[in-house]
């Protein structure tokens, strides 16, 4: 049984570069998501069993929130120190990460939907495992 829980995200620094997306955690460390994200309209569903991270920037594109979906490996203390949030979903369950940004668990896949009538930042989805990573930006459709 897991002792992992939902963690509310804090605002982290974001830098969009030609080579990918850099997130600076509250503790000063950085994560680099490689590659220019592939644009998809309105929503995306990840491949099954992948680690899913959702980044929602503000209008300036220099800060935002980062949320891990169904991450059971990272300890609560680490997330709280870094500012990264976490949401744990059961199959078929959904949650609103940010106004206009909804995630749903669907048989080990994560569906992310964006309503751009509600949110005005940018929404990135990073999907990774030990074999590789892919990145997407959900754009208005």
Phi, psi (5° rounding) for residue 115?
A: -105, 100
pLDDT in tens, 69-110: 999 999 999 999 999 999 999 999 999 999 999 999 999 999
- The pTM of this model reads 0.95
The answer to whether 26 touches 12, Cβ cutoff 8 Å, is yes
Cα–Cα dist 118/101, whole Å: 9
pLDDT in tens, 15-31: 999 999 999 999 999 99
Q: Compute the 3-state secondary structure of the chain and give helix, strand, coil in percent, each to the nearest 5.
A: 5, 50, 45
Distance of CA 130 to the CA centre of its chain: 18
Name residue 112's beta-bridge partners: 44, 103
Integer angstrom CA distances of residue 100 from 61, 97, 117, 118, 122: 17, 8, 8, 5, 11
pLDDT in tens, 111-141: 999 999 999 899 999 999 988 899 999 999 8
| pLDDT above 90: residue 1 | no
Which domains are seen in the chain, by residue range?
11-139 (2.60.40)
């Amino acid at each position: 049984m897991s002792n992992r829980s939902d963690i509310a995200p804090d605002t982290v620094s974001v830098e969009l570069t030609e080579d990918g997306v850099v997130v600076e955690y509250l503790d000063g460390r950085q994560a680099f998501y490689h590659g220019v994200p592939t644009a998809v309209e309105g929503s995306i569903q990840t491949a099954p069993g992948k680690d899913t991270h959702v980044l929602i920037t503000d209008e300036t594109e220099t800060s935002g929130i980062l949320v891990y979906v169904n991450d059971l490996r990272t300890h609560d203390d680490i997330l709280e120190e870094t500012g990264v949030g976490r949401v744990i979903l059961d199959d078929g369950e959904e949650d609103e990460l940010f106004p206009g940004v909804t995630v749903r668990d669907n048989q080990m896949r994560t569906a992310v939907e964006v309503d751009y009538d509600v949110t005005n930042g940018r929404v990135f989805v990073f999907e990774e495992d030990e074999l590789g990573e892919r990145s997407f930006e959900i754009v208005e459709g």
